[in-house]
Amino acid sequence: MQGRAETMIQLTREVAQAVAAMRYEAIPPQAISAACNGITDCAAVTILGRTSEVVRVLRSVLGLRPGRGEARICFSSDGAPAPQAALVNGTAAHALDYDDIGLNRVQPTHPSAVLASAVLAEAEALGCSGRDVLTAYITGYEVWGEIGSRPPLSGPLRRPPPQQGCTTSMLSEQLAPSPSPPRRPAAWSPTSAP
């Protein structure tokens, strides 16, 4: 069991280093464009799902009442503390299971319902910029992809933490036009360091 704990500590350390190294200026334009699409898609399905029964029940269970909080709920005038707004928004985004259908060839899961909902709620609460939102979303996407591609407790990262000259983001690499199916870059890094 000690080996598993050490593996998880090392994985956490390497992911934290990659997250801390992320800079907007180093994100490729293709990744920015894909992130904008993912966030926009998530906003649309959040609005579409905001009247669903699961959202109504969740709002009731959380005791959310109409009014203003630090982060908006489902792009309405109602608000809540950021963690609760993120939970409700993510639930609404995934309620009809339409989120991220445009990213299926890149990411068969649905990261935007989780990522965009959390990032947008925290960004609103903290007063972050659009660049901050895009950087956080892409960072989350990169971590999601890295963790999701690994077998459970498989040891240290297969790809090194970010350094000068590492490859571009996983998102832009996978979206780049190519005659063959998308593939993962040889070295993992949310971005190339500037």
**How is the chain split into domains, by residue range?**
28-154
Region 73-97: mean pLDDT is 94
Count of CB atoms situated within 10 Å of the CB of 88: 26
Say which residue the tokens 């959310």 belong to. 64
State the pLDDT confidence band at 58, using cuts at 50, 70 and 90: very high
Region 15-20: mean pLDDT is 89
Region 119-148: mean pLDDT is 92
pLDDT in tens, 20-57: 999 999 999 999 998 998 899 899 999 999 999 999 99
Residue 18 has pLDDT above 80, yes or no: yes
CA distance to 107, 163, 175, 189, per residue, from 184 (Å)? 11, 17, 10, 11
